[in-house]
Amino acid sequence: MANTTSIALIKEQFKAASIEELSFLIEQHQDDERSGVKALVAKAQKTLLKLEKEKERIEALCKYEKQYPDADYICGIDEVGRGPLAGPVVAGAVILPKDCRILYINDSKKLSEAKREMLYDEIMDAAIAVGIGVISPARIDEINILQATYEAMRMAIDNLSVTPDILLNDAVTIPKVEIPQVPIIKGDAKSISIGAASIMAKVTRDRMMVQYDQMFPGYGFAHNKGYGSAEHIEALKKFGPTEIHRKSFIGHFV
């Protein structure tokens, strides 16, 4: 018997359906010969396929975490802001539950701002503990950016509400830390914990730079986040440095 439900109504059903309901709608309408319905079914099937691939990717991101089954608290560590001319360097430390599978976690640089903001809230809700370390431009000038990065990471670890059993770090081994460490090259794209830390650090720093943009208008901090964009360099030459500029970074421009 032919389906007498209008294509417009079926389209609304697919549009309003949750992921869990899509499979039911596909099964319900897969024998409908109308081209409009076939297109809706094909689109829904594509959505479910993409979701399955994303679940597989996230499961693969747990590879390093699975290597330490006896560790109760596995902490991912990452930093953002080593390269900008202005603003702090920020590190994130995140301990996720072992069964945590938050979709779309990735290296924060590979995500849109909207996606990072969404994931920030999801990670904050799901995490066992989140620690943030912020090191000022003045401190960066005092001890250099590498040592400031290590200091931010140690601060992030200290700001966790529990003590990690092991640290999964993005590329580095942090000095003056007694907790066992595993440096992972490009870890923010290979480990769910490091990826989560990358997102928390990135969103924290970006929000700070938006606030600095209001305090120091004209440099474009809300957009360039302190990096050396043409707009930023032009303002630096015209107005000179602000108190959040890294004096050791701007010698070529001032």
Residue 167 parent element (H or E):
strand 166-170
Residues 222-235 have pLDDT tens digits of 999 999 999 999 99
145 in Cβ contact with 173 (< 8 Å): no
Angle at 56 between CA 51 and CA 58, to 5 degrees: 95
Number of CB atoms found within 10 A of residue 142's CB: 13
What's the pLDDT tens digit per position in 8-34?
998 898 989 888 888 889 889 988 989
Which tens digits make up the pLDDT trace of 123-171? 999 999 999 999 999 999 999 999 999 999 999 999 999 999 999 999 9
How far apart are alpha carbons 205 and 87 in whole angstroms?
8
Range 65-212 classified under CATH 3.30.420.10: yes
Domain boundaries, the chain: 8-61, 65-212
pLDDT at 2 over 60: no
Q: Using 50, 70 and 90 to split pLDDT, how confident is the model at 185?
A: very high
- Which stretch of DSSP H or E encloses residue 129? strand 129-135
- Whole-prediction pTM: 0.89
